[in-house]
Structure 1
Amino acid sequence: MPHRSAYAGVSWTAPDAYGVQWTCGICDGAEECAPGDEPPSPPVCHSCARLCLLDALSALGVSL
């Protein structure tokens, strides 16, 4: 049974022995959570979240 999130009407599949499968809202990449966990909200994968953070820090003039 699909579940619905409050973010942009994104749906994901029901949890099973393999976890919850969801799709990143930025890169459309397929991701999976551990069994019993819920997908992040908003659904953004770790790679896209890191790139967004680096872009924001760069725009603020922070050098890493």
Structure 2
Amino acid sequence: MSEPVKGPASYFPSIEAKYGRPISEWQEKIRASELTKHLELVNWLKAEHGLGHGHANALVAHTLKEDAAGS
């Protein structure tokens, strides 16, 4: 049996179900934004796209962590 998903990625199934878009699309939006700071991106997702705080926070945290690991 595999380990349960933990951390920000544990929110991904509910984000996709609630907002009807794949995680990759949200990550593209985050990466395309001119904003770079975590809280700015969270607030932008909430204001412009109607995400809840927890979902926006999970997407931003995961995306910024991926980007930092890849650079």
Q: TM-score, normalised by structure 2?
A: 0.30
Larger proportion of helix: 2
Larger proportion of strand: 1
Question: Which structure has more RCO (C-alpha within 8 Å, separation ≥ 6)?
Answer: 2
Q: TM-score, normalised by structure 1?
A: 0.32
Which protein has the larger Cα radius of gyration, Structure 1 or Structure 2?
1
